[in-house]
Amino acid sequence: MTRWLARVGWRHLVGVLAVLFSLFPIVFVFSAALNPLGTLSSTDAVPTGFTVDNFANLFQRTAFAHWYTNSILIAGVAAAVAVFLSLLAAYVFSRMRFAGRRTGLLSLLLIQMFPQFLAVVAIYIMFTRIGGYWPALGFSSPWGLILLYLGGALGVNTWLMKGFLDTVPKELDESATVDGASHAQVFFRIMLPLVTPILAITGLLVFIGTVNEFLLANVFLYEPESKTLAVGLYGLIAEGNRDNNFGMFCAGSLLTAVPTVVVFQFLQRYIVSGLTAGAVKG
């Protein structure tokens, strides 16, 4: 027994401690969401009561339904458009040779070194003027925020996809070109099915990052019904309401995780099938 503990047992102990450490925040949030009193001071790690009043109050007292819809709309559209545009750019940088190619790649990498929030003043002034001409792209509009998110996501996604496209043999492109296929046909019929795993991973990362983004959304979305989940839930615990609204905040946090889990489950089969196919080909 002593020998087993010295060789293997301590690893099981470390694993159990790691699991307990990672599950504690989830259990605490779940306990707070079901707490009948709904306050931070009355919440324990182990639930002492069970009620769904926090969930009901979340929908009745706040614009949570609008926040939920806005987050799914913004994250879904931003993820889909960002993946498509990034794939187009990555295909060009990976398969074509033209003047300024290296400079363009290095510029994308250099721009990503600076956080987007550093330009928040310039962005604010820019969208203030844009909103004067096209209100649909101004403040408290999801489309203007989507446009802003696209500008920040294209650089890193392009580099990520380019590295994956570089691993696809160029002989596939050449053989299709010899058979008379155009660049568009090569892209959509040959390349697109082969890069499904990186599309799924990139789309998932963009979706999660957009749902959780707070700083820029807090600047752009100031009307109650135009806020996202991150901005709306933050308002519940701001301005001295942290203790009173903590139960509703935790209930909203649990519901916020639902879209991410659904998207992950939907994209998981593409990720696993792509990795399995790559292993077999290798």
How many other β-carbons are positioned within 10 Å of the β-carbon of residue 93?
A: 21
Compute the distance between CA of residue 243 and CA of residue 38 in angstroms, rounded to an integer: 8
The answer, yes or no, to whether residue 195 has pLDDT greater than 80, is yes
Band of pLDDT at residue 188, cut at 50, 70 and 90: confident
How far apart (Å, rounded) are the C-alpha atoms in residues 201 and 103?
27
DSSP 225: G
pTM of the model: 0.82
Question: Nearest-CA neighbor of 151 among 121, 129, 119, 125?
Answer: 119
Alpha carbon distance 120, 148 (integer Å): 11
Q: Single out the residue of 28, 108, 258 nearest to residue 100, CA to CA.
A: 108
Do 39 and 53 touch, CB atoms closer than 8 A? no
Decide which of 49 and 262 is more confident. Answer: 262
Query: pLDDT tens digit string along 224-247?
Result: 888 899 998 888 887 666 677 888
112's tokens: 């990503």
CATH class of 64-281: mainly alpha
Question: What is the mean predicted confidence (pLDDT) over 147-171?
Answer: 83
- How many Cβ atoms from other residues are within 10 Å of residue 178's Cβ? 8
Could you tell me the end-to-end alpha-carbon distance of the chain, in angstroms, rounded to an integer? 43
- Residues 171/177/182/184 CA torsion (nearest 10 deg): -10
Pick the closest to residue 37 from 24, 53, 56 (CA basis). 53
Condensed to tens digits (0 to 9), the pLDDT of residues 108-153 reads 878 777 777 777 888 888 888 888 888 878 787 888 888 888 877 7
Query: Which pair of structure tokens corresponds to residue 247?
Result: 């139960």
Q: Are 254 and 29 in contact (CB under 8 A)?
A: yes
* pLDDT > 90? residue 73: yes
- Enclosing H/E stretch for 82: helix 64-95
Positive or negative, the Cα torsion across 257, 263, 268, 274?
A: negative
Q: Write down the pLDDT at residue 234.
A: 87
- Specify whether the CB–CB gap between 207 and 229 falls below 8 A: no
Rounded Cα distance between 54 and 255, Å, is 12
Six token digits for residue 96: 């074509």
Q: At what angle do helices 196-212 and 142-165 cross, to 10 degrees?
A: 150
CB contact at 8 A, 91 and 191: yes
- What share of the chain has pLDDT > 70, as a percent? 90
List the chain domain ranges: 64-281
